[in-house]
């Protein structure tokens, strides 16, 4: 069974703050995701090049992500007409590559 989530991320660039929401399809429930899913997600989406304690940086931008919001399969079908859907498993695989260490 497929599960759908909306993931909201935040980018802080100087005095500006930007938000983006991504629809993610997963084979597993959120409770079973890797503990570092958020770090892998941010690296996949923003190419993190520095980890400073609990802050992640992409160039001069600070990036973060909120806990995913579960979306019903019915609602996901509507959202998929307007948003590109990314597979969590692909995000995790790509996000682990070349990740800098803290």
Whether 12 maps to a domain, the answer reads: yes
Residues facing residue 55 across a β-bridge: 52
- Answer whether 41's CB lies under 8 Å from 20's CB: no
Interval 20-51: pLDDT, tens: 999 999 999 999 999 999 999 999 999 999 98
Note down the domain range covering 53: 3-96
Interval 46-81: pLDDT, tens: 999 998 877 899 999 999 999 999 999 999 999 999
> pLDDT value at position 52?
84
Q: Which residues contact 62 (CB under 8 A, 6 or more apart)?
A: 11, 12, 13, 55, 56
If phi > 0 it is left, if psi is from -120 to 50 it is alpha, else beta; for residue 81 that is alpha
- Answer whether 101's CB lies under 8 Å from 39's CB: no
Whether 102 maps to a domain, the answer reads: no
Number of domains in the chain: 1
């Amino acid at each position: 069974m497929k599960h759908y989530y909306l993931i909201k991320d935040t980018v802080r660039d100087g005095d500006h703050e930007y938000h983006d929401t991504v629809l993610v399809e997963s084979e597993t429930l959120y409770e079973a995701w890797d503990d570092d899913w958020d770090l892998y997600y941010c690296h996949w989406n923003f190419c993190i090049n520095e980890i400073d304690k609990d802050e992640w940086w992409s160039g001069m931008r600070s990036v973060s992500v909120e806990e995913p919001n579960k979306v019903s399969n019915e609602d996901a079908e509507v959202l998929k007409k307007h948003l590109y859907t990314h597979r969590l498993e692909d995000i995790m695989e790509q996000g682990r590559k070349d990740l800098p260490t803290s």
